[in-house]
């Protein structure tokens, strides 16, 4: 008979679910890291890949995955994210058809879901770019600064005050490392479970300056084992931010819903999709 040439591989939603499942499987198995999970650092990789977006010039954002290259991989804010990129290399080898920029954002969505957070609808469409598309240093937030800086950085991406507070709730996950940012410690007692505990602790706990040789950070009065960055504390000092902190501390459902919406928006900044928002994939989490 006649042989039909194989066309280009066009992945289906089922193919992307397979990528999700492989990430979830690897997350469950690779527990010899931090508090037992690579999930938090995957969330941070997706955020730092996306958070370089500048709405005025349309540059930066997750489309491109330019953090694969120096100088962007060496930007101070990206210290430690090699752990996340390396974690995903076997997944990229297993599914060579996916772009790094789709893979990193898909992994960021998967990590939120696998750590008990809300569903993060996600869609493909990002293309990898070369080193020339690396963004300049300084586009990601500096934790030593105040609310004006938070508004300047996240305003540049196109977020409003409410969205800035919702996004910050990701600090329910993970910890700071002295050999990466210089800061140290987790924000709450369950850094591998996505909750509204970050907001509860901001409101309920008394936060004192930590006495140490490191950069200025805050510690909880009750146990002295948790930490807040100056930018975290800015969320309770600023009246408008504080309103949303209080709301999310009281209402976990509202936080989950609003976090999902704003994290989806973050991961899509600057991506020239051909698909529509209603084409987003709702991944099934692992059991």
Token match 């210089």: residue?
A: 182
One of 20, 27, 40, 49 touching ligand HEM (CB under 6 A) = 40
Cis peptide before 195 (omega within 30 of 0): no
- Residues numbered 217 to 236 that lie near ligand HEM (CB under 6 A) are 229, 231
Sign of the dihedral defined by the CA atoms of residues 70, 37, 164, 240, in that order: negative
173 interacts with ligand HEM by CB under 6 A: yes
Rounded to the nearest whole angstrom, what is the least distance from the CB of residue 191 to ligand HEM in the complex?
A: 7
117 interacts with ligand HEM by CB under 6 A: no
C-beta nearest to ligand HEM: residue = 174
Q: Residue 55 in 3-state DSSP?
A: coil
Distance between CA atoms of 191 and 194, rounded to whole angstroms?
Answer: 8
Rounded to the nearest whole angstrom, what is the least distance from the CB of residue 96 to ligand HEM in the complex?
A: 27
Long-range contacts, stretch 271-278, CB < 8 angstroms, 24+ apart:
271/61, 271/62, 271/63, 271/125, 271/126, 272/63, 272/125, 273/123, 273/125, 274/125, 275/123, 275/124, 275/125, 277/123
Number of residues in contact with ligand HEM under rule CB under 6 A:
24
Whether 187 sits among the annotated catalytic residues: the reply is: yes
Distance between CA atoms of 93 and 276, rounded to whole angstroms?
Answer: 28
147 interacts with ligand HEM by CB under 6 A: no
44 interacts with ligand HEM by CB under 6 A: yes
Rounded to the nearest whole angstrom, what is the least distance from the CB of residue 97 to ligand HEM in the complex?
A: 27
167 interacts with ligand HEM by CB under 6 A: yes
- The H or E element spanning position 14 is helix 13-29
Whether 47 sits among the annotated catalytic residues: the reply is: no
User: Under a CB-based contact definition with an 8 Å cutoff, are residues 61 and 271 in contact?
Assistant: yes
- Residues numbered 72 to 91 that lie near ligand HEM (CB under 6 A) are 80
Distance between CA atoms of 25 and 116, rounded to whole angstroms?
Answer: 15
> What single DSSP character describes residue 10?
-
Rounded to the nearest whole angstrom, what is the least distance from the CB of residue 123 to ligand HEM in the complex?
A: 18
135 interacts with ligand HEM by CB under 6 A: no
139 interacts with ligand HEM by CB under 6 A: no
43 interacts with ligand HEM by CB under 6 A: yes
The catalytically annotated residue of 47, 104, 187, 207 is 187
User: Under a CB-based contact definition with an 8 Å cutoff, are residues 229 and 217 in contact?
Assistant: yes
One of 78, 99, 181, 192 touching ligand HEM (CB under 6 A) = 181
Q: Residue 185 in 3-state DSSP?
A: strand
116 interacts with ligand HEM by CB under 6 A: no
One of 75, 85, 175, 280 touching ligand HEM (CB under 6 A) = 175
41 interacts with ligand HEM by CB under 6 A: yes
Residues lying near ligand HEM in the complex (CB under 6 A) = 40-41, 43-44, 47, 80, 141, 143, 150, 167-168, 170-171, 173-177, 180-181, 183, 229, 231, 263
Q: Which residues are catalytic?
A: 48, 187
């Amino acid at each position: 008979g006649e042989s039909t040439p194989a066309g280009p591989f066009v992945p289906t939603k089922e193919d992307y679910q397979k990528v999700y499942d492989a990430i979830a499987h690897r997350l469950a198995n690779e527990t010899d890291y931090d508090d037992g999970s690579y999930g938090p650092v995957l969330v941070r990789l997706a955020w730092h890949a996306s958070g370089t977006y500048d709405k005025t010039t349309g540059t930066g954002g997750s489309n491109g995955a330019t953090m694969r290259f120096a100088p962007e991989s060496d930007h101070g804010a990206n210290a430690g994210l090699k752990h996340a990129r390396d974690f995903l290399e076997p997944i990229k080898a297993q599914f060579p058809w996916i772009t790094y920029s789709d893979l990193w954002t898909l992994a960021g969505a998967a990590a939120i879901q696998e750590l008990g957070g809300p569903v993060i609808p996600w869609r493909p469409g990002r293309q990898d770019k070369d080193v020339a598309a690396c963004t300049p240093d300084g586009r990601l937030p500096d934790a030593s600064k105040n609310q004006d800086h938070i508004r300047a950085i996240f305003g540049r991406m196109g977020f409003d005050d409410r969205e800035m507070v919702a996004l910050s709730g990701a600090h329910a996950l993970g910890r700071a490392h002295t050999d990466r940012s210089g800061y140290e410690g987790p924000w709450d007692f369950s850094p591998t479970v996505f909750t509204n505990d970050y907001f509860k602790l901001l409101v309920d706990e008394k936060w004192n300056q930590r006495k140490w040789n490191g950069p200025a950070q805050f510690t909880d009065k009750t146990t002295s084992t948790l930490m807040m960055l100056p930018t975290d504390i800015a969320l309770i000092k600023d009246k408008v931010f504080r309103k949303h902190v209080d709301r999310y501390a009281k209402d976990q459902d509202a936080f989950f819903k609003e976090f999902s919406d704003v994290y989806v928006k973050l991961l899509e900044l600057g991506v020239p999709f051909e698909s529509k928002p209603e084409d987003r994939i709702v991944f099934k989490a692992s059991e």
